[in-house]
């Protein structure tokens, strides 16, 4: 403590020049530190703007849809499948008679669809599809002038995440953005954008004076360039260091990129509100959310409203805070009028325009349980997510929709048919479903519970449940690799007993029973499996060896612990649903094992492949 006091006394005795020199040194060190921090962020800033990607999302793509001859699909589902991946100008319905004349194919069809896949990598070309209300009748290549059996469409982007938050983002080019939308944005957010070099002294002082007069933060002084830097490259800490970094980086941004590049980045990344669990990002997504239109179709009052929302999407949400939104839109329109962008008549008409009507549809993630499985596989592969990814999954959107309908129907049926057996406590029924393509092992649908929003626990991946009679298949498979007591190989026609019996093991006894206590005596093996007979199956398991059943089950993909006890034969043990799927997948492949997967391949945002399922 004394040493510290001595040091302070010596400082007091220093001449003024020394103080100035020390202050200058500290200021220089501080400046060097700030510039070093900025330098570290400069590469990230350059790369992000060049890629037109400030936030680095994780993009989820479905498996590509295939349209094939004789496919069972109705009119609306076929059009929906095409709409998901093609622009409006790339498809359309054609006159049935002219389609028949053009292709020379006879036969009854209800409608004909033209699709243009000229720019698609998989099967480029132009096609006609003739179909009835229930089936695809034929596919015709207009370039090859012959029928085709099938065509594969591109994968569909069905979800985007930033961190663990789902986002809606439809990037647009500045050249496709209405001038009224750009002028509205500049009028309310940064009127001097085209003149300043990153920050505006005039705006800073104007905001400072207004805030002092009103005794609160009534106005910000940040330019659009500063907002980009602040929101996407810096933390939200309120320190002088961060503010200095912000100013320096804004200037650097202006020296390295054009105004158009900066403005395009801004209109594609800015947060515009919330649709259900989805963050609405950028003008493109906001236009579709608020107005159900493409951005290029917006008029003056709609452009002004988009610009009005930016300052505080919660406060100026036209659906939940219409008065606030209308007042803020009026302010935007006034600034446009004052800047001579619009005249008084245009101002009046736009100011009287109605706000968009509320959309009842709140978006939810289309397959949240499935995406959880995907992210677990990404983590197990050691793929880093921080710089963004494009994940091309195995999800079949039509199969997923069918799975959701099946689960809902199944749960509703149980509630109706078995309502007297349901527990009295208010616990909702749960279910899980997982399906896969036996040829590839690609998981096509996955549901882990009745409702992800309220019950996010993923039962398809994490719930150990008794598998019951599904275990019987492995008992019979094991038997087919064994011999009878007479030394003959078991076959589907081998006679086995279906009758009551008791087996003793480890000082325990066990006596299985058939459903409704019906027994058939001596029967062929195939009959026992076909009718799922408990006693016949259990006796076969005991006679052929319980250990061999465990071995067969493990060879087919089961990894959970299994005890070689008689009750094993009737599935009195627990597996994960995905595990049972894996084992039955191997059965469907005649014993050829292939691991199930949720991912076909993964790329970074530059389309460099990081992983590919072999």
Phi-psi region of 152 (alpha: psi -120 to 50; beta: other; left: phi over 0): beta
The three-point CA angle 443-446-451 to 5° equals 170
**CA distance linking residue 393 with residue 607, whole number of Å:** 15
Six-digit token string for 287: 């236009």
Six-digit token string for 109: 């069809």
* Better-scored residue on pLDDT, 455 or 316: 316
Beta bridge pairs of residue 70:
none
For residue 598, the model assigns a pLDDT of 98
> How many H helices and E strands in the chain?
21, 23
Burial (Cβ within 10 Å: 0-12, 13-18, ≥19) of residue 154: middle
CATH class, range 164-352? mainly alpha
Would you say domain 468-575 falls under CATH 3.40.710.10? yes
**pLDDT above 90 for 87:** no
Handedness of CA 332, 335, 339, 340 (dihedral sign): positive
**CA distance linking residue 497 with residue 501, whole number of Å:** 10
**pLDDT above 60 for 216:** no
For residue 541, the model assigns a pLDDT of 97
What DSSP line would sit under 513-576, residue for residue?
--GGG---EEEEHHHHHHTT-HHHHHHHHHHH-HHHHHHHHHHTT--S----SGGGGGT-SEE-
Q: Kindly name the residue from 141, 469, 482, 560 that is annotated as catalytic.
A: 469
Average pLDDT on 470-491 reads 95
Give the pLDDT band (50/70/90) at residue 453. Answer: confident
**CA distance linking residue 350 with residue 332, whole number of Å:** 11
| Cβ-based neighbours of 275, under 8 Å, separated by 6 or more | 168, 289, 362, 363
Find the helix packing angle between 259-269 and 224-232, rounded to 10°: 50
Q: Mapping DSSP to helix (H, G, I), strand (E, B) and coil, where does residue 6 land?
A: helix
For the question of residue 48 being annotated catalytic, the response is no
For residue 8, the model assigns a pLDDT of 52
Neighbouring CB atoms inside 10 A of 62's CB total: 26
**CA distance linking residue 398 with residue 405, whole number of Å:** 11
Burial (Cβ within 10 Å: 0-12, 13-18, ≥19) of residue 560: middle
The answer to whether residues 335 and 183 touch, using CB atoms and an 8 Å cutoff, is no
| Cβ-based neighbours of 606, under 8 Å, separated by 6 or more | 51
Six-digit token string for 271: 């947060």
The answer to whether residues 402 and 71 touch, using CB atoms and an 8 Å cutoff, is no
| Cβ-based neighbours of 349, under 8 Å, separated by 6 or more | 300
What DSSP line would sit under 248-302, residue for residue?
HHHHHHHHHS-HHHHHHHHHHHSEEEEETTEEEEHHHHHHHHHHSS-GGG--HHH
For residue 171, the model assigns a pLDDT of 87
**CA distance linking residue 529 with residue 348, whole number of Å:** 79
**CA distance linking residue 245 with residue 341, whole number of Å:** 34
**pLDDT above 60 for 207:** no
Summarize pLDDT for 556-591 with one digit per residue, the tens. Answer: 999 999 999 999 999 999 999 999 999 999 999 999
Would you say domain 65-154 falls under CATH 3.30.2060? yes
Beta bridge pairs of residue 390:
59, 603
Report DSSP state, residue 349.
H
Summarize pLDDT for 416-426 with one digit per residue, the tens. Answer: 998 888 877 77
Beta bridge pairs of residue 510:
503
Q: Which residue bears the tokens 């500063």?
A: 226
Rg of the chain, C-alpha, whole Å: 34
Q: Mapping DSSP to helix (H, G, I), strand (E, B) and coil, where does residue 348 land?
A: helix
Average pLDDT on 377-389 reads 92
For the question of residue 312 being annotated catalytic, the response is no
C-alpha 99 chain-centroid distance: 38
The answer to whether residues 127 and 138 touch, using CB atoms and an 8 Å cutoff, is no
Summarize pLDDT for 425-442 with one digit per residue, the tens. Answer: 777 899 999 999 999 999
Q: Kindly name the residue from 120, 189, 264, 269 that is annotated as catalytic.
A: 189
**pLDDT above 80 for 473:** yes
Domain boundaries, the chain: 65-154, 164-352, 468-575
The answer to whether residues 415 and 422 touch, using CB atoms and an 8 Å cutoff, is yes
Q: Tell me which of 336-340, 350-354, 422-426 is least confident.
A: 422-426
Summarize pLDDT for 156-187 with one digit per residue, the tens. Answer: 888 888 877 888 888 899 999 999 999 999 99
Q: Tell me which of 14-23, 292-301, 455-464, 520-529 is least confident.
A: 14-23
C-alpha 207 chain-centroid distance: 41
Average pLDDT on 232-241 reads 67
pTM value is 0.77
| Average pLDDT over the chain, rounded to an integer | 88
The answer to whether residues 512 and 535 touch, using CB atoms and an 8 Å cutoff, is yes
Dihedral, CA atoms, 415, 417, 421, 425, nearest 10 degrees?
20
**CA distance linking residue 21 with residue 257, whole number of Å:** 38
For residue 218, the model assigns a pLDDT of 46
Six-digit token string for 196: 């300043």
Average pLDDT on 536-547 reads 96
């Amino acid at each position: 403590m004394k040493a510290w006091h001595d040091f302070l006394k010596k400082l007091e005795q220093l001449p003024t020049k020394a103080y100035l020199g020390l202050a200058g040194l500290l200021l220089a060190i501080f400046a060097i530190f700030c510039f070093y921090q900025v330098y570290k962020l400069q590469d990230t800033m350059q790369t992000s703007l060049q890629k037109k990607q400030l936030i680095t999302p994780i993009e989820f793509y479905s498996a590509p849809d295939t349209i094939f001859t004789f496919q069972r699909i109705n009119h609306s589902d076929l059009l929906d499948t095409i709409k998901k991946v093609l622009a409006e100008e790339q498809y359309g319905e054609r006159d049935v008679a002219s389609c028949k004349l053009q292709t020379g194919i006879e036969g009854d069809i209800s409608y004909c669809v033209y699709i243009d896949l000229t720019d698609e990598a998989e099967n480029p070309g132009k096609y006609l599809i003739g179909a009835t209300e229930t089936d695809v009748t034929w596919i015709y290549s207009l370039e090859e002038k012959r029928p085709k059996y099938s065509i594969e469409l591109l994968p569909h982007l069905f979800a985007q995440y930033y961190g663990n938050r789902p986002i809606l983002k439809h990037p647009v080019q500045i050249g496709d953005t209405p001038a009224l939308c750009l002028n509205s944005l500049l009028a309310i957010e940064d009127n001097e954008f085209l003149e300043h070099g990153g920050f505006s002294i005039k705006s800073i002082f104007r905001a400072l004076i207004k805030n002092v007069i009103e005794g609160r933060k009534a106005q910000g002084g940040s330019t659009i360039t500063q907002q980009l830097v602040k929101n996407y490259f810096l933390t939200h800490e309120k320190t002088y260091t961060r503010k200095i970094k912000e100013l320096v980086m804004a200037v650097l941004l202006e020296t390295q990129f054009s105004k158009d590049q900066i403005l395009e980045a801004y209109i594609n990344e800015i947060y515009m509100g919330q649709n259900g669990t989805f963050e609405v990002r950028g003008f493109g997504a906001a236009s579709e959310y608020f107005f159900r239109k493409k951005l290029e179709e917006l008029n003056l009052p709609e452009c002004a409203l988009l610009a009005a929302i930016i300052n505080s999407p919660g406060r100026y949400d036209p659906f939940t805070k219409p008065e606030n939104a209308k007042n803020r839109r009026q302010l935007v329109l006034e600034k446009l009028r004052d800047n001579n962008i619009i005249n008084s008549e245009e101002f009046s008409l736009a100011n009287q325009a109605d706000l968009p009507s509320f959309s009842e549809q709140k978006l939810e993630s289309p397959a949240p349980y499935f995406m959880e499985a995907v992210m677990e596989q990404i983590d197990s592969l050691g793929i880093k997510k921080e710089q963004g990814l494009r994940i091309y999954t195995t999800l079949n959107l039509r199969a997923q929709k069918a799975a959701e309908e099946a689960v809902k129907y199944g749960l509703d049926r149980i509630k109706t048919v078995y309502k007297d057996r349901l527990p009295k406590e208010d616990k909702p029924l749960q279910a899980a479903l997982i399906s896969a393509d036996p040829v590839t092992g690609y998981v096509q649908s996955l549901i882990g519970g009745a409702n992800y929003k309220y019950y996010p626990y993923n039962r398809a991946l994490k719930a150990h449940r008794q598998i019951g009679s599904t275990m019987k298949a492995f008992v019979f498979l094991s038997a087919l690799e064994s011999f009878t007591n007479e030394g003959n190989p078991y076959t589907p026609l081998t006679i086995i007993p279906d009758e009551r019996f008791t087996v003793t093991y480890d000082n325990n006894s066990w006596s299985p029973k058939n459903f409704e206590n019906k027994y058939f005596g001596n029967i062929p093996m195939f009959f026992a499996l076909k009718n799922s007979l408990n006693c016949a199956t259990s006796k076969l398991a005991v006679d052929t060896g319980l250990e061999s059943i465990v071995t067969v089950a493990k060879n087919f993909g089961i990894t959970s612990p299994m005890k070689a006890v008689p009750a094993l034969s009737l599935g009195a043990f627990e597996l994960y649903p995905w595990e049972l799927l894996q084992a039955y997948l191997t059965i469907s492949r005649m014993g050829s094992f292939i691991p199930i997967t949720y991912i076909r391949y993964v790329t970074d945002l530059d389309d460099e492949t990081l992983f590919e399922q072999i």
